[in-house]
Chain A
Amino acid sequence: MDAISGDLNAPHSMGTTIIGVTYDGGVVLGADSRTSTGMYVANRASDKITQLTDNVYICRSGSAADSQIVSDYVRYYLHQHTIQLGQPATVKVAANLVRLIAYNNKNMLQTGLIVGGWDKYEGGKIYGIPLGGTILELPFTIGGSGSSYLYGFFDQVWKEGMTQDEAEKLVVKAVSLAIARDGASGGVVRTVTINKDGATRKFYPGESLPLWHEELEAKDSLLDILSAASPEPMVS
């Protein structure tokens, strides 16, 4: 029993697969939903895509606590900045604030982040901020432990100027591929699409995702069996 439960006191880490892609008119952010404490899945339906402003969202990976704190700080600064500026903050400014915190506290933090959003000056933008606090403006980027399995996939499939539909399908497919192979990623797929009309959240439950090579069908849960009608008595 002990071997199965694992170390419940281990820091909560988000094994994670996170993705951000730009398309013609905006960006799509995607993530899985597994938060693990060692071997134990602490939250199988977590929301790793956090809102910073109406038009900027952030995908969080690595230490759950660290990424939440960074997001909280940046949301606070961006709120003040927006008030002072009198108009929505740009994605670039949001990403810059994130990387300043990530870089200046690199010794204490362990979190990889993807900042994505839309503003009226630059349109849809994606910024990757990996562990050390680098900031990279990219047409698409992937992060988290599950991303290792996606580099080849994106090399093959990525193209500039996709439509919103193409981009969303790409993100969902990619996250589900990573979930299939990465033990630290799983659960559902969440996406957020951000364009000039605002931000839209979408949710793809596990059963709706396609099965990949060697994956098995989901079995009935024990609870279904319990609530079913009594089985026939065994007759010898």
Chain B
Amino acid sequence: MSSIGTGYDLSVTTFSPDGRVFQIEYAAKAVDNSGTVVAIKCKDGVVMGVEKLIASKMMLPGSNRRIHSVHRHSGMGVAGLAADGRQIVARAKSEATNYEKFVFSLVGFLCLYFTSSVKLGVYGEPIPVKELAERVASYVHLCTLYWWLRPFGCGVILGGYDRDGPQLYMVEPSGISYRYFGAAIGKGRQAAKTEIEKLKLSEMTCRQGVIEVAKIIYGVHDEAKDKAFELEMSWVCDESNRQHQKPLNVPTIRVPGSDDVLEEAKTAAKAALEEMDAD
């Protein structure tokens, strides 16, 4: 499965004899070693959750966000090198804004590579999620074409809600982007994908989806290998008025004493975990 490139892996502009670009595959490994990111598309929206591994007890809870709002209607969960992720998010935000509104920016003309396309890309409507995913993917791919640039060491899951309904896209370090019903990247992605496949997503609302995603993240977290983690979640659905919201501070009706969906999800997930351990 994982082979040494020996000699063909020194540059992203080199193919191996069997047609692989090893640098891109190594970049994907950086993603595989990071905390899990899970996202599902329910019938009324998209729910995203991140297993944020806490490096030090000194860190303030809620800092080092892994889920970012890209535009009113869409958000992005990042796995892999955090700094690379910040760059991708910034680019996505820029694409989304420029698509909708005209920006009198001179900076845009300085360097074509690092700023978004400033054609007359001014359409007066929110960027369709499909279009945003394509632009992010092509930007990520751009950085796999030149020897003086290294590939991004992060994968992103983009969830958004536009005129055509809720959509979920995943962009890998190679620049590939596909549309998904459910996606997972990071350490626990295999287990997470198995869990997602068990869900009946077309019948699930986002309220239910939040609980399920929390259960999956708590489930795939490896207590032995990694220490503490923080659960970060977001959603964009009919209930949130098609806006990307995080953290979830929406009052719930089901769990008395709990006053937000996130807390309810955590409680339910921990309970489910205990149930599994009891078996």
List the interface of chain A (C-beta within 8 A of B). Answer: 77, 81, 84-86, 90, 92-93, 96-97, 100, 121
Q: How far is the CA of A121 from the CA of B163 in the complex (A)?
A: 7
**Interface pair A92/B128, CB less than 8 Å apart:** no
Known: A100-B102, A121-B163. A93 touches B128 (CB 8 A): no
Chain A CB count within 10 A is highest, among B120, B125, B128, for B120
Given contacts A84-B131, A121-B163, contact A93 B102 (CB under 8 A): no
Cβ-based interface call for B123 (8 A): yes
Number of contacts between A and B (CB, 8 Å)?
23
Is the beta-carbon distance between A85 and B131 smaller than 8 angstroms?
A: yes
Q: Which one, A81, A86, A121, contacts B123 given CB within 8 A?
A: A81
Cross-chain pairs A/B with CB under 8 angstroms, 16 sampled: A77-B120, A81-B123, A84-B131, A85-B128, A85-B131, A86-B130, A90-B125, A92-B125, A93-B123, A96-B123, A97-B120, A97-B123, A100-B102, A100-B120, A100-B122, A121-B163
Q: Which residues of A contact B124 (CB under 8 A)?
A: 92-93, 96
Q: How large is the interface on B (under 10, 10 to 19, 20 to 34, 35 or more residues)?
A: 10 to 19
- How far apart are the CA atoms of A100 and B131 in the complex, in Å? 22
Is chain A's binding surface mostly helix, strand, loop or mixed? helix
Q: Which residues of A contact B125 (CB under 8 A)?
A: 90, 92-93, 96
> Binary interface profile of B, 124-141, with partner A (CB < 8 Å = 1, else 0)?
110010110000000000
A86 to B120, CA, bound (A): 18
**Complex Cα spacing A92 to B102, Å:** 15
The docked-state distance in angstroms from the alpha carbon of A91 to that of B125 is 11
For residue A85, which residues in chain B have a CB less than 8 angstroms away from its CB? 128, 131
* Residue numbers in B under 8 Å from A97 (CB-CB): 120, 122-123
**In this complex, what residue of B is CB-closest to A103?**
B102
A86–B130 Cα distance when bound, in Å, is 10
| Bound: A85/B130 CA distance, A | 8
- Chain B neighbourhood of A96, CB < 8 A: 122-125
Chain B 94-148 interface residues, beta-carbon cutoff 8 Å to A: 102, 120, 122-125, 128, 130-131
CB distance from B141 to the nearest CB of A (A): 16
B123 cross-chain contacts in A, Cβ below 8 A: 81, 93, 96-97
Q: B271 to nearest A CB, angstroms?
A: 43
Q: For chain B residues 187-239, which have a beta carbon within 8 Å of chain A?
A: none
- Kindly state the separation between the CA atoms of A121 and B128 in the bound complex, as whole angstroms: 13
Residue of B nearest to A74 (CB): B120
Q: Would you give the shortest CB distance from B279 to chain A, in whole angstroms?
A: 48
Please report the C-alpha to C-alpha distance between residue A93 and residue B130 in the assembled complex, in whole angstroms.
17
A43 to B192 Cα, complex, angstroms: 70
With A and B bound together, what is the CA distance between A100 and B122 in angstroms?
A: 9
* Distance of A22 Cα from B122 Cα, bound (Å): 26
Q: Which residue of B lies closest to A101 (CB)?
A: B120
What 7 new A-B contacts, CB under 8 Å, besides A85-B131, A97-B120? A81-B123, A90-B125, A96-B123, A96-B124, A96-B125, A100-B120, A121-B163
Q: Which residue of B lies closest to A93 (CB)?
A: B123
Q: How far is the CA of A93 from the CA of B127 in the complex (A)?
A: 11
Q: Tell me the minimal C-beta distance from A95 to chain B in angstroms.
A: 8
Q: How far is the CA of A81 from the CA of B128 in the complex (A)?
A: 12
Cα distance A85–B134 when bound, in Å?
A: 10
Distance (whole angstroms) from the CB of B133 to the closest CB of chain A: 12
Bound-state CA distance A92–B125 (Å) is 8
A126 to B123 alpha-carbon distance, docked (Å): 17
Give the residue name and chain of the B residue nearest to A76 (CB): B120
